[in-house]
Chains A and B, each alone.
Chain A
Amino acid sequence: QQQVKQSPQSLIVQKGGISIINCAYENTAFDYFPWYQQFPGKGPALLIAIRPDVSEKKEGRFTISFNKSAKQFSLHIMDSQPGDSATYFCAASTSGGSYIPTFGRGTSLIVHP
């Protein structure tokens, strides 16, 4: 059973456009939702994270939107740049449980110049 569903699997965006990646979860006990960014040949690295006490978190061009009632969260990349081309993973975990995160299957983003 896939507890965190991520879509789309791949995304192509023109430079300057908005990239949107969505994740949906089933476990209502999840209370930590990070996004990881992975460049080719590298390990994933934390990009931005949110907890359910806020509906939105913004760091530069990257924004997480969180909808607790719908059990969905999304990553928005504004003014997408070719350097943003990478694979993005959403994840979810529970602070009061095992803390072990569940990852989505990833989205391969290509930003064309």
Chain B
Amino acid sequence: DAGITQSPRYKITETGRQVTLMCHQTWSHSYMFWYRQDLGHGLRLIYYSAAADITDKGEVPDGYVVSRSKTENFPLTLESATRSQTSVYFCASSELGQGGTDTQYFGPGTRLTVL
């Protein structure tokens, strides 16, 4: 199926554990993003990637690690989960700056609970 998918959709983990959230897009968009959504804070950018092997920090990168070895995948890893990382995580992709269309396409989200 074309589009952007995230897995798992729901995850419960414990403090201190490592957890990886997966994101896959089929459009071959250059840009990919990770956001977290928390009540009262809206969407906050964690990391983004302009192309394979190019990543950069967003507004709230601490405690997260990303990689992008292939254009279509952009996994987000919490190396040692903390309760403050309980949130809903959204992956997005875009072809920013191409033909004037800067639309971001969001995945369905992963609800992560850290106990």
Contacts and interface: CB of A to CB of B under 8 A. Distances in A.
B3 to A, nearest CB: 10
Contact of A101 (B100, B104, B108): B104
B42 A99 contact: no
Interface string B7-51: 000000000000000000000000100000000111101001000
Contacts of B52: none
Interface string B66-104: 000000000000000000000000101010110010111
A18 interface: no
Contacts of A93: 96, 102
The majority secondary structure among interface residues of chain A is loop
Interface residues of B, number: 22
A54 interface: no
B102 A44 contact: no
A54 B105 CA distance: 24
B95 to A, nearest CB: 10
Interface of B: 31, 40-43, 45, 48, 58, 90, 92, 94, 96-97, 100, 102-109
Given A34-B103, A44-B106, A101-B102, 15 more contacts: A41-B108, A42-B108, A42-B109, A43-B92, A43-B106, A43-B107, A44-B90, A46-B103, A46-B104, A49-B103, A89-B43, A93-B102, A95-B102, A100-B45, A105-B42
What 7 pairs across the A-B complex have the smallest Cβ distances?
A43-B106, A99-B96, A105-B42, A106-B42, A103-B43, A99-B97, A46-B103
16 contacts: A36-B104, A36-B106, A41-B109, A42-B108, A42-B109, A43-B90, A44-B43, A46-B104, A93-B96, A95-B100, A99-B97, A99-B102, A101-B102, A103-B43, A105-B40, A106-B42
